[in-house]
Structure 1
Amino acid sequence: MMDRSRRNRVLGKTGLLLLAFLLCLLGSGLQPSLAAEKAITLKAVSAFPQNNRMNDGLWIFQKKVKEKSKGGLEIAWGGGPEAIPTFQLVEAIRNGVVDLAWTAHTFNVSQLPVVEGAKLSKLTPWDERKKGIHDFYQNAYQKKLNAYYLGRGTPGLTYNLYTTVPVKSIGDFKGMTIRVTPAYKAFVEALGAAPVTTDPGEVFGALQRKMVQGYGWPSLGISDFGWDEVTKFVIEPAFYQVDVMTLVHIQAWNKLPKEMQEALNSSIQEMELEASEHFAKLISQDREKIKKKGVQEVRLSGQEAERYLQTAYEASWREVLKKDQSSGAQLRDLLSQ
């Protein structure tokens, strides 16, 4: 039998050889098998603050990607507007500064004018895929912004106008001053109202001091800013769809194994279905909440409602066609099928 001292010397040499082997592996850039199996990570930057409801679809998507890829692909939060300002995110995705942008078509209009028409869709995301509209956006984003278009983030989430004065007909908007964003500025002008632009943080004071008599906003969330305390009416019908969507930089996309690309595509489609139900439920709950705070629902009926919606869509299509006649007409035809 080997004596104890000789055995210790052999074991000691074996340990040193093993240690040297591991150091060589690390020094050469190779990783032990556990490290080699580390998940691929895509850093996502959002146009919205982390706790904003516009990110609800992102959290659903993030969970589904991890599940479908069996942990092989992860979407990591890379920050909101504090990381990259909202309107600069389009440049960041075009230049490959971020892997994934959770943004909105509206924020990309400076680079791709035709997508101003995206909010005018009355279709579900799955119908858009069937009718070739998803492919239209895919081609446009890859060609102009070096980005792969995955899909929509807020399906079914609409806009409303909210006022401090009663509205019984379209004519009642004439002469009002209404706070707007670019998404519905043309509509407000077509109603005969005067549009003004302010930061969301200034809206409460503007309403309280009667500097404005109304504003547009998605069909939920006014209580997040306390606006329900100074709002008297919410006008129905709702119009447009909030056009949150997501893009992956084309190089980041092309580097992914095919099964990971499939995981992203299938996850976004499942998320769109869930998000559609999610936002429908939130809108209903939010409406009941603001009604309890004293906000009255005004429903334009019959011909007035038809004229209201016709004004909303025609005014915005004019803007789209003014900016890109050819592509705008193509998108309008696709959305009208």
Structure 2
Amino acid sequence: MKKGVTLLLVGLLLVFVMIGEEVSAQQIILKAVTAFPKPHLNNDPVPLFIEAVNKRAQGRLRIEWLGGPEVFAPFDQVHAIKAGTIDMNLYYPWAYMKSLMPEAEAQGLSELAAWEERKSGLFELWSEIFEKRVNAKYLGRLHSNVTFNVFCNRKMEKVADFKGLKIRVMPLYIPFLKALGASPVTMPPPEIYTAMERGVVEGFMWPRVGMISWGLQEVTKFMIEPGVFQMEPATMVNLDRWKKIPKDLQDLLLEVIQEYEYIGTMRNYMIVEKEERVREKAGMKNIHLPPEEAEKFVKTAYDMTWAEILKAAPEYGPKLKKAMSKGALPKGSFPWQ
């Protein structure tokens, strides 16, 4: 009798092990990275998005966040996505893709939030471009609307004061900063602190959120207003990997990111307030350019950057400019129109 019970228990255990192994073998695991280290404030919505996807997928799909620049250097991550070396990038600035995507800088100039871009035709246009340029399925972007600002150690009172300013840049800012007479310097984000500390650069541009994650308030005196452009982090999956994901799980990923486009942006507005307090405590000051100078600054930013994009990307540039304008939204799409 005891022998029979023992054999039954062993048999059941083997069945459970086999079922567990089968489920594990069937589970889709997406190996993912981000441009910035895990604790960085720009990544704020990323773990929430991952948690929501993993929970709703009920074991059939799991996103595994490997890390950030320590896994792949930020500017190399787009090449890793294209080659399929990694499955997914959860948070990746558009401008970092310029080497493969001449249109990349356009996203920062959008007049729309991510959810509005799904109504204007821009989402579909970017989806086409991502497939063509970087072999990726574009899912959406977890942040909208928050501007980029100049942070510097030189007191700026007019546009002419930018002349000769040594400033750290990414490709998005280069055309207009050159037009202002500044001297752009390209370097990875982790190097900005030391460069500011040693005077290698006198300033940098960064979104209004995230500079304190690098501790840059310790080596920076001023933030210049107004800001320009807007945050433009892409979430994408290698296209070959995407095609192997069942349709219902593809739909799940697209559904969850649409929810977190709202959530990530709303949380970002709250983080902006926190950053203001941290910068103020560190002794930083906000400088507001006079109205005429501010208008000149903003106009130069958009005019020069669009000119560069339209020249570099004649196929998609004009289409993008049209689709990311307020005028591209169908009437009645949102109550604030």
Alignment partner, residue 3 of structure 1: none
- Aligned residues: CA RMSD: 2.7
| Pick aligned residue for 2:139 from 128, 146, 150 | 150
With 266-275 and 250-259 compared, the bigger mean Cα shift is at: 250-259
Question: TM-score w.r.t. structure 2 length?
Answer: 0.86
The answer to whether residue 177 in structure 2 is matched with residue 188 in structure 1 is yes
Q: Does 1:307 align with 2:292?
A: no
Q: CA shift at 1:120, angstroms?
A: 1.1
Identify unmatched segments of 5+ residues in structure 1: 1-6
Percent identity of paired positions between Structure 1 and Structure 2: 35
Letter in 1 for 2:52: K
2:36 aligned residue (30, 48, 56): 48
In the alignment, which residue of structure 2 is the partner of 1:90?
78
Aligned length: 323
Shift of 1:194: 1.9
Instruction: Give the match for residue 113 of structure 1.
Output: 102
Cα 1:281/1:169, change in 2 over 3 Å? same
Aligned to 1:33: 19
Name the structure 2 match of 1:4.
none
Which residue is equivalent to 1:169? Answer: 158
Number of the residue aligned with 1:221 = 210
Please give the alpha-carbon distance, in whole angstroms, between the structure 1 residues aligned to 2:287 and 2:79.
41
For residue 85 of structure 2, give the secondary structure of its aligned residue in structure 1.
Answer: coil
Larger Cα Rg: Structure 1 or Structure 2?
1
User: What is the alpha-carbon distance in structure 1 between the residues aligned to residue 250 and residue 187 of structure 2?
Assistant: 40
Determine if contact 1:156/1:279 at 8 Å carries over to the other structure.
no
CA shift digits 1:233-270 (9 cap, x unpaired):
11111111222111112232222222211210111011
The answer as to whether partners of 1:147 and 1:248 remain within 8 angstroms in 2 is yes
- Match status 1:279 vs 2:268: yes
> SS of the counterpart of 1:184?
helix
Q: Distance in 1 between matches of 2:320 and 2:285?
A: 36
Contact 1:68–1:267 (Cα < 8 Å) also in 2? no
CA distance in 2, matches of 1:248, 1:207: 35
Q: Report if the CA contact (8 A) 2:168-2:203 is conserved.
A: yes
Q: Is the 8 A contact 1:54 1:244 kept in 2?
A: no
1:117-160 Cα offsets, whole Å, 9 max, x none, are: 11111211010000011100111112233211100033233211
Q: C-alpha deviations, 1:168-225, integer Å up to 9, x for none?
A: 2212222322222222122211112222234545544544454533221221333333
CA distance in 2, matches of 1:189, 1:53: 29
Aligned to 1:268: 257
Residue 325 of structure 1 aligns to a residue whose secondary structure is coil
3-state SS in 2 of match to 1:82: coil
Structure 2 portions without partners, runs of 5+: 328-337
User: In 2 relative to 1, CA 210–285 (structure 1 residues): closer, same or farther, beyond 3 Å?
Assistant: same
